[in-house]
Amino acid sequence: MHCPLCLNTEAISEYHSDKKRDYLHCGECDLVFVSPEYLPLPQREKQEYDLHENDFEDEGYRKFLGKVLTPLSQFISQRGKSRLNGLDFGCGPAPVLAHMLTEEGVEMSVFDPFFANNTEVLSHRYDLITCTEAIEHFHTPHREWSLFNRMLKDGGVIAIMTKRHLDKARFANWHYKNDITHVCFFSEATFRYLANKENYDVSFPTNDVVLLKKV
């Protein structure tokens, strides 16, 4: 058994069990993740994602994404008149955040393995990468994290939105873990681990948003 994020094999322990799944914990990077036998098959994942009803006209969803857009707008304005390019990774069927960032003057590309599977965009480098409510779905997050590192330019920013786990007691009653497509759960300590390992400045604008700036 190894951690799907940091690949540690010596610090894995049981964390929680319920009627549906068993969860493990990595003592190295603080990731909580489902035991591999509970990873959903692609067809099952797609069925769940097709139930999402986010669209461009949904003002509530646009307001929700504002938690990411607001700190990114500060980054965009600090870069002045330089033309920025970005990638919305895991954009889903309606890339609303990419559209909002285009309105901010950013030249955006999108990628999603189910809805926008254009792997050509993964060969480019970007000033900013967004990943909103997607990282918790990654079965092998060490691969996506390595990809982000490769794609992000020096001085660029990765903006991630995901709810963070806090402790065992609250995890037991946490609704976020009940979605069968949610298989990896990050904490503030997890993001600080990644930042220290790869030389990023890390900040937490809200309780479910993290910004990682490549130094």
The model's pLDDT over 58-102, given as tens digits with 9 standing for 90+, comes to: 677 788 888 999 999 989 988 766 789 999 999 988 899 999 999
Report yes or no on 148 lying in a domain: yes
Residue 182: both structure tokens together: 């949610």
Q: Which of 69, 194, 84 is CA-nearest to residue 135? A: 194
pTM (global) more than 0.75: yes
Q: Tell which residue, 124, 113, 132, has the closest CA to residue 150.
A: 124
Within a domain: 72: yes
Whether the per-residue pLDDT at 37 is higher than 70: the answer is: yes
pLDDT for 51 beyond 80: no
Enter the tokens of residue 203: 């900040």
User: pLDDT tens-digit profile of 141-193?
Assistant: 999 999 999 999 999 999 999 999 999 999 999 999 999 999 999 999 999 99
Q: What is the CATH number of the domain that holds 41?
A: 3.40.50.150
Domain count across the chain:
1
For 197, the domain range is 12-214
Is 48 a domain residue? yes
